[in-house]
């Protein structure tokens, strides 16, 4: 017979109300629990969602007594997913050459430019997925986080398809992504040697040359410049970085200039200047100026002959050679830049004084206009003063920009050192700032620093 009381039915609910348990006391002989009785016990305890009727039937039919069973389960909320873009291009091309296991430098591993072709799918949008509401066993709603849609991509050189999900390039060129904006711009790609038959190159954007640059030629790129072959006695100029995968055989005619960084397998008999860093395996009889640092840490990593100067410091494996070839490595800023800083400051002060005089003179014309009621706007003297003011203001602004750059260089040079990982040979000149020392004996794994007005070995006594 069925029990008439439900006090023997124990219902328990978890702290987060996501599960309900039931434990049945042992009934008297001949008595039994019914499914309706178990349901009523759940309802009396406030359990209204996720009731497992099959478990209740099993407990009643099989007499599962003194066993705690899960008889109801809530439904967790499922958070939505924000919309996202899948890009079909590298957003951050590799700009650093890799060091191989044998110590050589792999300049082919560098990729300053990521390119696409017209018709290429550059991005696909995955719409936001909305979440699902959850419920506790007591029927309380558990809100789900809503998925947010992303704004359409902006930029140029591509279109959005009719489904609003696919973005397709409309032109061949270089693709860049910055601040959620994509720009595809044309670049100049050359599958030949740049020689007298091909002609010089002057291009506002990026230039990629898959051949050599022959002697006497000129290549000018407003952006990055990449040369896969060898550069001979040519002139290269770039508004950004330069990568020379085949190196430079300069023949004392090559001139390489970059407003960014320069990387090359080697430089021989060339003049090199970079606003950024310079990285190579060998500098042989070169004249080098670098506003940041020079690093030669490849398999050889050597400076042999010539003069090499970096404002922020030099790291190199070897300097000079056993024949004591004349080699000079310099870091920091010399007297020339210090004098230039002083001269510019003097010129700024003089221009400022002159502007003050012009301003006072112009004020006098304004005063005369008020007192006499006559306009002096076309007076040749006033026009000359205005021209002088405009000219001097422009010059002062230009000087201040140049002074800021020089001051930044001076600040960057304060802790510059020459670090030699392996060997520095006798006869090498080491210059830090305005101080110089000549290496008299072969040294191994040393770092030259400036202490007071002397060049010394780091952690050692004065060496010169």
Tell me, what's the pLDDT at 352?
85
Q: In this predicted structure, which of 245-259, 301-315, 337-351 has the lowest mean pLDDT?
A: 337-351
Band (110; pLDDT cuts 50, 70, 90): low
Phi, psi of 328, rounded to the nearest 5 degrees: -130, 125
Q: How far apart are CA 312 and CA 297, in angstroms?
A: 16
Q: In this predicted structure, which of 166-170, 197-201, 331-335, 416-420 has the lowest mean pLDDT?
A: 331-335
Assess whether pLDDT exceeds 70 at residue 138.
yes
Band (378; pLDDT cuts 50, 70, 90): confident
Q: How far apart are CA 226 and CA 190, in angstroms?
A: 10
Q: How far apart are CA 47 and CA 40, in angstroms?
A: 10
Give 206-232 pLDDT, tens digit per residue. 899 999 999 999 999 988 999 999 999
Assess whether pLDDT exceeds 70 at residue 441.
yes
The whole-model pTM stands at: 0.62
Quick one: 178 exposed, middle or buried, by C-beta within 10 A (0-12, 13-18, 19+)? exposed
List, in order, residues 6 or more apart from 356 with CB less than 8 Å away. Answer: none
DSSP structure class, residue 413: T
DSSP structure class, residue 8: T
Instruction: Give the whole-number percent of the chain exceeding pLDDT 70.
Output: 94
Torsion sign, CA atoms 83, 89, 95, 98: positive
Tell me, what's the pLDDT at 156?
92
Assess whether pLDDT exceeds 50 at residue 327.
yes
Reading the block at residue 218, the tokens are 């000129």
Give 232-259 pLDDT, tens digit per residue. 999 999 999 999 999 999 999 999 999 9
Tell me, what's the pLDDT at 7?
65
CB 326 within 8 A of CB 303: no
Q: How far apart are CA 272 and CA 248, in angstroms?
A: 10
* Mean pLDDT score of the chain: 89
CB 455 within 8 A of CB 430: yes
Band (6; pLDDT cuts 50, 70, 90): low
Instruction: Characterise 445 by phi-psi region: left (phi > 0), alpha (psi -120 to 50), beta (else).
Output: left
Distances (CA, A) of 207 to 185, 190, 222, 229: 12, 8, 8, 13
Q: How far apart are CA 323 and CA 337, in angstroms?
A: 33
Of residues 264 and 373, more confidence is placed in: 264
Assess whether pLDDT exceeds 90 at residue 281.
yes
CB 186 within 8 A of CB 205: yes
């Amino acid at each position: 017979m069925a029990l008439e009381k439900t006090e023997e039915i124990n219902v328990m609910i978890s702290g987060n109300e996501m599960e309900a348990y039931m434990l049945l006391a042992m009934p008297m002989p001949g008595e039994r629990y019914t499914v309706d009785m178990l349901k009523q016990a759940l309802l009396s305890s406030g359990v209204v969602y996720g009731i497992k009727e099959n478990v209740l039937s099993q407990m009643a039919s099989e007499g599962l007594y003194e066993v705690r069973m899960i008889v109801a389960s809530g439904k967790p909320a499922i958070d939505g997913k924000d919309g996202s873009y899948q890009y079909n291009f590298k957003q951050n091309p590799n700009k650093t050459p890799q060091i191989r296991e044998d110590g050589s430098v792999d300049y082919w591993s560098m990729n300053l430019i990521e390119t696409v072709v017209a018709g290429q799918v550059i991005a696909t949008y995955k719409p936001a997925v909305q979440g699902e509401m959850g419920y506790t066993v007591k029927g309380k709603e558990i809100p789900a986080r809503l998925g947010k849609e992303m704004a359409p991509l902006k930029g140029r050189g591509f279109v959005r398809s009719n489904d609003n999900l696919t973005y397709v390039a409309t032109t061949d060129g270089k693709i860049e992504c910055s601040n959620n904006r994509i720009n595809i711009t044309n670049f100049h790609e050359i599958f030949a040697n740049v020689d007298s038959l091909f002609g010089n190159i002057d291009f506002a954007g990026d230039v990629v040359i898959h051949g050599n640059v022959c002697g006497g030629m000129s290549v000018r790129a407003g952006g990055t410049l990449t040369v896969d072959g060898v550069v001979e006695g040519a002139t290269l100029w770039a508004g950004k970085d330069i990568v020379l995968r085949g190196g430079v055989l300069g023949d004392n005619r090559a001139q390489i200039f970059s407003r960014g960084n320069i990387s090359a397998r080697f430089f021989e008999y060339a003049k090199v200047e970079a606003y950024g860093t310079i990285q190579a395996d060998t500098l042989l009889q070169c004249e080098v100026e670098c506003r940041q640092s020079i690093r030669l840490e490849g398999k050889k990593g050597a400076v042999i002959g010539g003069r090499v100067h970096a404002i922020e410091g030099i790291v190199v494996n070897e300097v000079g050679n056993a024949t004591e070839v004349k080699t000079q490595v310099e870091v920091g800023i010399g007297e020339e830049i210090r004098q230039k800083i002083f001269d510019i400051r003097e010129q700024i002060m003089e221009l400022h004084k002159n502007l003050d005089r012009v301003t006072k003179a112009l004020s006098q014309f304004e005063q005369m206009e008020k007192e006499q009621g006559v306009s002096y706007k076309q007076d040749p003297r006033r026009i000359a003063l205005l021209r002088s003011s405009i000219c001097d203001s422009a010059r002062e602004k230009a000087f201040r920009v140049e002074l800021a750059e020089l001051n930044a260089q001076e600040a960057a040079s304060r802790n510059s050192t020459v670090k030699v990982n392996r060997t520095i040979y006798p006869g090498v000149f080491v210059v830090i700032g305005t101080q110089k020392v000549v290496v008299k004996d072969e040294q191994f794994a040393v770092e030259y620093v400036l202490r007071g007005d002397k060049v010394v070995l780091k952690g050692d006594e004065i060496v010169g």
